[in-house]
Structure 1
């Protein structure tokens, strides 16, 4: 199979994660209660929670655990969805919208609970998430968001310009808010930790096993693989998110799979660390083309943001982020960059995760909106509960029909132009 995606190995996470468990390619045809396609957070969480319920899952991953966005993201565990609680209530009504807000608000709890419960070898810190406001409009948005979560009892508080400057170590934000539920993890290590926990619970996981066909006959599903072995199962969970190419008709046309680029500096000195995120929070801002940054467990500063749709051709594709490091943190101007990498973020038209049931026994999960660590872990648990019990209320959202974006092929050109425009005009960075 041609490798269409930028390899995982250049990333900081591949260099610092605990080793992956043994998950050999599938070489013998097998049967299972549930077949799962995709070895990212959603698929691994579903496998773990299904196995804990006594359901026999077999998970197939084309490359390696966490090869997609789960092993390439910034490791920021941010609770909630892209839509604020009041907006969810307006969209879905008080009962469904309230439950959806509660679901989103608990996603970070689930991640840190799983790390602790399974004793995962995953560097992590839960000091909170800070959202900085880059404009007066962004400040109003941040203040409203904090107020909505505070009304629901969440441990949040607004930050004025002085407070956010002290917390972040930069004077480029007008204010913002702090959500103490958030934090940071080693994201590839977490994916591998989920895999190890799922295996221990009784799940079967096979990497290096691309699924090449997905057919239903006589009430069961049959998955063909590149190596010739098959999996026959009653149910299938398709959890490939931003890497959903050719697995189900037109599924990939329902999302924009934008690349998110990141750089990591050398480890900061003790003196430098006193001036950059001294409290250990993770952060992203209110720009349309948002920036996100944090320190890793070894004291490197990570800076992330959007880049070109195509896979990178060289270091120049990360140059805009290297400039941002010096602009946000002048004390680090000219600091050496040790790692550059990227991964795909699956964005839906309504900025909500989507569940689809295009055929009996097939459940599709797609759309992380850049909050995949907590969101997709929780989606995996919810899908497992639904498959095991048949209770539709176990799902945070009802399944919807697959609706491709109109003129999907043109969206990449359009979004690329928007990215360029925002980069020139979105807050001076």
Structure 2
């Protein structure tokens, strides 16, 4: 039975058709486990390089984080800055990762242009407002560090932020001119179409349960009973813990995020809160985000400190927060609510793993899914093409599942409560 895709704003409004293959090849140069942004980007890169590739998705294309996010394209880190990256990795490796991450949004929008993907792409910048004086000082310093790397990142004062958002609670903002928004499901389906046009195959409902060394390559066995041989394997399964994905998925902290899309805002409100059409995400511990879709629905999200009954409760709470924070003349209501899981690494940096000769995995977008996954897919493709894995810009780590992984959602809930208290103190 074909798995069903969860209903989201993106499934309701997608314009790209869902297309995939039904017949598995007997063998390929590279098998890619996971049909999200990372896996499909890697497949595209490998096909361009002349390799044969197939993508194996356990569910439906778009049923994971790649189809559940809010469509923000942000080319930086959520929880760290350039100096912290260099401190953790050293100057040379740190700068290599910074250059990779800094080009993340451009790489997404280049691919969209090259492949002619219609996905509501808008590279209008990303606004990161500061909450409190300390937040403004931090963002001013962070903007200078990114500028020193040649990136178009600036700092706006409080008046400029109010002009952009209509909000008077902020003390300044970092503006990254290369950020933007997309319709993530249309982008994902466009990537899948690109892979198929270039001679690759994309398969849904193919959960890989076993990868076993066979001769010079690997034998993959699906839950369906089908098998295929691959010279190399790329694992792009993010936070999933089903089948072969289990060990890598348990190396991160899974954060369940609830997203909503509201009824459309009126034109006067749109001009007041999003004059430039820029997506917004502030510096609060319990961060506040918003963007508009093509019909002026407000899209925002949040996490639940108490998971029980969170789906209905969070939808109403996020809509109420939008109405209050943005001083909307008419309270908005959630038109649709959906949920997905983000994978957070302990040091908030992406990482590569090697599970065997020619078997590589990558994970750790840490809240920067679209831009970071594009780069993660490209780096994994380079590993499969034979680049020295230790020379790649994402660090190679030893794969160790986190102890007590099953309890990590409760740890995240406790951290959210603490974050909200910090925001109250900052106010």
Where on the TM-score scale, by shorter chain, does this alignment land: which range? over 0.9
Q: Output the CA distance in 2 between the equivalents of 1:113 and 1:403.
A: 35
Q: Please say if 1:103 is aligned against 2:103.
A: no
Q: Secondary structure at the match of 1:170?
A: coil
CA contact (8 A) 2:260 2:318 kept: yes
Task: Note if 1:357 corresponds to 2:354.
Answer: yes
RMSD (Å), alpha carbons: 2.2
- Kindly indicate whether residue 342 of structure 2 is the aligned counterpart of residue 342 of structure 1: no
- Counterpart position of 1:388: 385
Distance of aligned partners of 1:415 and 1:233 in 2 relative to their CA distance in 1, 3 Å threshold: same
> In structure 1, which of residues 274, 279, 285 is the aligned counterpart of residue 282 of structure 2?
285
Match of residue 322 from structure 1:
319
How far 1:308 sits from its partner (Å)?
A: 5.5
Structure 1: tracts of 5 or more residues without a match? none
The answer as to whether partners of 1:29 and 1:229 remain within 8 angstroms in 2 is: no
Could you tell me how far 1:424 is from its partner in structure 2? 5.0
**Cα deviation code 1:108-162 (max 9, x no counterpart):** 0100000001100111111100101112222222111111112222112111111
The question of 1:136 aligning with 2:133 is answered yes
Q: Once the two structures are superposed, what CA deviation does each residue of 1:275-331 show, in whole Å capped at 9, x if it has no partner?
A: 121111111111223222111122111112223685966422323212211121112
Q: Where does residue 74 of structure 1 map in the other structure?
A: 70
Three-state SS of the structure 1 residue aligned to 2:239 is helix
Say if 1:248 and 1:241 are closer, same or farther in 2 by CA, change over 3 A: closer
Question: Hey, what does 2:157 align to over in structure 1?
Answer: 160
Q: Is the 8 A contact 2:5 2:60 kept in 1?
A: no
Deviation track 1:44-82 (CA, whole Å, cap 9, x = no partner) reads: 000101011111111100122121110111111000234
Cα distance change, pair 385–250 in 1 and its aligned pair in 2 (3 A): closer
1:55 equivalenced with 2:51 (yes/no): yes
The answer to whether 1:305 aligns with 2:316 is no
Counting matched residue pairs gives 425
Q: Which residue of 1 aligns with 2:376?
A: 379
CA contact (8 A) 1:78 1:108 kept: yes
Call closer, same or farther: CA 1:69–1:38 in 2, change over 3 Å.
Answer: same
Q: Which residue of 1 aligns with 2:19?
A: 22
Say if 2:253 and 2:344, in contact at 8 Å, map to a contact too.
Answer: yes
Matched residue SS, 1:244: coil
Q: Counterparts of 1:263 and 1:248 in 2: how far apart (Å)?
A: 28
Could you tell me how far apart the structure 1 residues matched to 2:241 and 2:156 are?
39
Contact 1:169 1:278 in 2 (8 A): no
Alpha-carbon shift at residue 390 of structure 1 (Å): 3.0
What residue in structure 2 maps to residue 211 of structure 1?
208
2:142 pairs with 1:151: no
* Structure 2 gap ranges (5+): none
Post-superposition CA distance 1:361-403 (Å, at most 9, x none): 2101111101010111111112112211333366222321112
Give the SS at the match of 2:7: coil
- In structure 2, the partner of 1:90 is 87
Once the 2 structures are TM-superposed, how far is the Cα of residue 355 of structure 1 from its aligned partner?
A: 0.8
| Cross-structure match for 1:367 | 364
Rounded Cα–Cα distance in structure 2 between residues aligned with 1:110 and 1:95: 22
Runs (4 or more) in structure 1 with deviation over 6 Å come to: none
TM-score by length of 2: 0.93
User: Cα offset for 1:267?
Assistant: 1.8
CA distance in 2, matches of 1:56, 1:291: 43
Greater mean alpha carbon deviation, residues 221-230 or residues 311-320: 311-320
In the alignment, what sits opposite 1:43?
Answer: 39
For the residue of structure 1 that corresponds to 2:272, the secondary structure is: coil
Distance in structure 2 (CA, Å) of the matches to 1:20 and 1:383? 27
SS of 1:426's partner is helix
Match of 1:265 among 254, 262, 266: 262
TM-score normalised per structure 1: 0.93
